[in-house]
Structure 1
Amino acid sequence: MTQDEQKHLVAREAIKYVVDDAYIGVGSGSTANFFIDELAKIKHRIKGTVASSIKTAERLKGHGIPVLELTAIDVLPVYIDGADEVTEHGAMIKGGGGALTREKIVAAVAQKFVCIVDQSKLVGVLGNFPLPVEVIPMARSFAAHELVKLGGHPQLRPNFITDNGNIILDVE
């Protein structure tokens, strides 16, 4: 089975977690995009969505799925998103696409987080993928020095600004 076939399969399985007549949190990235395509087939069953990134919101709207701001809803039963790396114990690195802050906030608000990944994302130990850290631009140097003190090796992600107007330090 190809990687895309695996992503399609986990996206279809994730539909089982969609709560009817509710708002659904939707993550960002290639696996989440497969989920959005599946969600479009049952969009009549949900009230709408909360997107974790501008790109996700655009894709949802392109399918005619309503997108609301997080501040507009009271309850978010489930948030469905992918990850960059996941261990057998559920530890993970998320946010490689740069939407990490919004992803973490929507996940924290949701009553349940469903992580959908293909086989390539399963690892014995985290660290093959750099840990993304979102930083306000004025704190770049300070944050980098603090990350070095913790044993990290931060690198500025070139030519990238988050949806929040911040920068990303990728830490190895």
Structure 2
Amino acid sequence: MLTQTELKQNVAQAAVQYVLPFLTPETILGVGTGSTVDIFIDSLAPHTSRFRGAVSSSERSSARMAALGIQVFDLNDVQAMPFYVDGADEIDRGLSMIKGGGGALTREKIVASVADQFVCIVDESKQVDHLGRFPLPVEVIPMARESVSRQLAQLGGKPSLRSGIVTDNGCQILDVSGLSISQPAQLESRINNIPGVVSCGLFAIAGADVVLVSTQGGVRQLKKNAS
């Protein structure tokens, strides 16, 4: 029986093999945040001669890449990237996701929006039929925390301030439990439109394009709209 760490290692290595054939000396990759992505970065580092560098969704990932010799670019200096590779806290059958357990949801959403393809890397424990068991992170401007909390409660959620966390954007995170997420894209749009919300951790309006799922039987590949 593979441990969760071994499952993460397998899917991280599969992601490296997925992107390698498309890399050129001018390629800039998008790289996310989290424990599985940490392993992806470590697995990508031996191939630095194959690509130009990467854009990161967090200071944590930027520091890890720089320490391993991967050149880190500011997104403002990048016009295009073929892949954004990141994990998820939950992913459903339609490849909609909840992200933000590591607190980088806004930057993850921004970097992902520039990439041609979002490659999500997860172990099988992250697959669900319906999103919502994992509390939904919502990044908020501090002065709006309580007003946003009241509106999230009106949607049926139970918001809780994530203690001791300030995002890379200088904001706070509300973790919202108890939501019934039957229509992820609609809920994402509704929460994003609440004044004071920077971004919510639903990635449904633009979900994953490809998912690599690490299972006890190997790494499976899922694609959006695939039968």
Scaled to the shorter chain, the TM-score interval is over 0.9
Answer yes or no: is 1:83 the counterpart of 2:83. no
Post-superposition Cα deviations, 1:97-125, rounded to whole Å, max 9, x if no partner, equal 10000001111111100000011111222
In the TM superposition, residue 146 of structure 1 has moved relative to its aligned partner by 1.2
Give the aligned residue type for 2:172: I
The one of 110, 113, 124 equivalent to 1:108 is 113
| Counterpart residue number, 2:12 | 11
| Counterpart residue number, 2:28 | 23
RMSD over aligned CA atoms reads: 0.9
The one of 77, 81, 84 equivalent to 1:72 is 77
In structure 2, how many angstroms separate the alpha carbons of the residues matched to 1:164 and 1:41?
Answer: 31
Answer yes or no: is 1:143 the counterpart of 2:148. yes
In structure 2, how many angstroms separate the alpha carbons of the residues matched to 1:20 and 1:90?
Answer: 25
| Counterpart residue number, 1:132 | 137
Give the aligned residue type for 1:2: T
In structure 1, how many angstroms separate the alpha carbons of the residues matched to 2:115 and 2:128?
Answer: 26
In the TM superposition, residue 150 of structure 1 has moved relative to its aligned partner by 1.3
| Counterpart residue number, 2:50 | 45
Aligned length: 172
The one of 154, 158, 164 equivalent to 1:159 is 164
Structure-1-length-normalised TM-score: 0.97
Provide structure 2 residue ranges, at least 5 long, that are not aligned to the other structure.
178-227
In structure 2, how many angstroms separate the alpha carbons of the residues matched to 1:73 and 1:45?
Answer: 18
Please, which moves more after superposition, 9-18 or 51-60? 9-18
In the TM superposition, residue 73 of structure 1 has moved relative to its aligned partner by 0.8
Identity %: 53
Structure-2-length-normalised TM-score: 0.74
Higher strand proportion, which one? 2
Structure 1 runs of 4+ off > 3 angstroms?
none
